[in-house]
Structure 1
């Protein structure tokens, strides 16, 4: 998958979260397919994605834009 679809409307709107889920669904399926082609099982890939998502969400909540941090 090369491109994730943009939101259907500008700004916030009632189904924005659903639209985002639909937009990312194909990208996640593609990622799992690529993991399977590399030798992982779909179950392993989904479990790994679960762990990665939690870790990345926590890191984002602590520091949404690490590029702005002074070196």
Structure 2
């Protein structure tokens, strides 16, 4: 991942073998390492780690997690 070469990718421990899951990394979005609001949340497919990466701001990430907790995505195909 050239844009974030130092990203530490994590896979859920609930993933059976880590192969059919998404991976998440948190990186600094600006030069300020102390500003938590500048963090970016990165998501990629564990089966295709060199493929595309979704990037979320803190607000977007927390809205996504709230949607997961509230079962907002259960009707998606």
TM-score range relative to shorter protein = 0.3 to 0.5
What TM-score, normalized by structure 2, do the two folds share?
0.31
Structure having the higher helix fraction is: 1
TM-score by length of 1: 0.33
Greater strand content: 2
Larger Rg: 1
